[in-house]
């Protein structure tokens, strides 16, 4: 028998899972194309603008597919409220010194309402915050898909973990997700960033068209460690983990109370008993 804790507001069916997988593959291709591109050394490299146009369309399809899978007005209302709160908190934090106030609620929402809801919440939160802060630009699709993965991953965590162990699990996931988010966002802009001269290191850390995958990957890892891992990403990890530890128990209780009202419970039709 399924307990209330194991229920999700937006169950993932086979068709929705396939669409989520397609959106994730498109996002990975959009992020990792520099490592997969075969080009001659010194050739001019242009970003795949087709993916910038394709990914928002894929996300719209994902949201529509989720709507067919059971997103009723109550679940949609919860999604809208959490997206608005996330947009406001992101505007307040503005990423100053790595302080991000949006990811902890994204992780908690994905944990309570499920992976599909977390994916949708990541998309809508970053889109709403971009409109609120006039941050619409070519980086927005990257932010949306990376945030969607953060929310989806939280919904895929083991659901039987409860109590303090659940808070510890979510805090540890927040640290890992914060670093991965920063790394993926760096990958989206790295090919167009000037090389950084580092004493003691030979050569440039910039992307080299036509170079072997491992060489470019090594350059990128050194680049992201020097530019964001020890600063922005660490600040994001600490902020998100502390918010989950301090505010997590109360917010989880509130979200689960809302989930019990939002999830439509199946009912068994009453069959009249035969007379006599």
Q: What is the pLDDT of residue 187?
A: 81
Q: How confident is the model at residue 167 (pLDDT cuts 50, 70, 90)?
A: very high
50-59, 106-115, 159-168, 260-269: which has the minimum mean pLDDT?
260-269
Determine if residue 42 is left, alpha or beta; phi over 0 gives left, psi from -120 to 50 gives alpha, anything else beta: left
Give the span between the Cα atoms of 66 and 72, in whole angstroms.
10
CB 19 within 8 A of CB 57: no
Judged against a pLDDT cut of 70, whether residue 93 lies above it is answered with no
Q: Tell me which DSSP letter residue 263 carries.
A: S
For the chain, the structural domain boundaries read 4-262
Give the span between the Cα atoms of 238 and 227, in whole angstroms.
17
Q: What is the pLDDT of residue 150?
A: 93
Average pLDDT of the residues of the chain: 75
Q: How confident is the model at residue 29 (pLDDT cuts 50, 70, 90)?
A: confident
Give the span between the Cα atoms of 248 and 221, in whole angstroms.
32
At 118 the three-state DSSP class reads helix
- Reported as a single tens digit per residue, the pLDDT across 195-247 is 433 334 445 777 666 667 787 778 888 888 887 777 778 888 898 999 999 99
Judged against a pLDDT cut of 50, whether residue 84 lies above it is answered with yes
Phi and psi at residue 54, in whole multiples of 5°?
Answer: -75, -40
Q: What is the pLDDT of residue 175?
A: 93
Query: Which distant-in-sequence residues (6+ apart) come within 8 Å of 219 by Cβ?
Result: 203, 204, 205, 206, 207, 208
Q: Which one, of 55, 57, 101, 76, lies nearest residue 10 by Cα?
A: 76
Give the span between the Cα atoms of 205 and 227, in whole angstroms.
11
CB 55 within 8 A of CB 25: no
**Token duo for residue 183:** 């790394």
- Reported as a single tens digit per residue, the pLDDT across 109-150 is 999 888 888 888 888 888 888 777 666 776 778 888 888 899
- Reported as a single tens digit per residue, the pLDDT across 149-164 is 999 999 888 888 888 9
């Amino acid at each position: 028998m399924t307990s209330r804790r194991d229920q999700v507001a937006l169950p993932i069916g086979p068709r929705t899972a396939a669409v989520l997988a397609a959106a994730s593959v498109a996002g990975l291709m959009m992020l990792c194309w520099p490592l997969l591109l075969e080009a001659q050394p010194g050739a001019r490299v242009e970003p795949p603008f087709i993916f910038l146009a394709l990914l928002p369309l894929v996300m719209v399809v994902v949201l529509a597919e989720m709507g067919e899978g059971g997103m009723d007005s109550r679940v949609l209302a919860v999604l809208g409220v959490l997206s608005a709160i996330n947009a406001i908190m992101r505007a307040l934090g503005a990423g100053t010194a790595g302080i991000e106030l949006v990811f902890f609620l994204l992780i908690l929402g994905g944990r309570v309402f499920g992976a599909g809801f977390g994916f949708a919440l990541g998309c809508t939160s970053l889109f709403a915050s971009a409109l609120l802060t006039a941050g619409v630009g070519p980086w927005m699709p990257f932010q949306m898909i990376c945030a969607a993965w953060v929310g989806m991953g939280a919904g895929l965590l083991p659901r039987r973990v409860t109590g303090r162990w659940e808070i510890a699990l979510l805090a540890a996931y927040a640290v890992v997700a914060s670093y991965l988010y920063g790394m993926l966002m760096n990958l989206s802009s790295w090919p167009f960033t000037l090389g950084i001269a580092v004493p003691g290191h030979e050569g440039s850390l910039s992307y080299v068209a036509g170079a072997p995958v491992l060489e470019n990957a090594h350059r990128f890892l050194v680049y992201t460690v020097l530019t964001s891992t020890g600063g922005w990403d660490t600040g994001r990890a600490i902020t998100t983990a502390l918010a989950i530890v301090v505010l997590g128990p109360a917010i989880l209780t509130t979200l689960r109370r809302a989930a019990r009202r939002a999830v439509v419970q199946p009912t068994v039709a009453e069959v009249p008993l035969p007379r006599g």
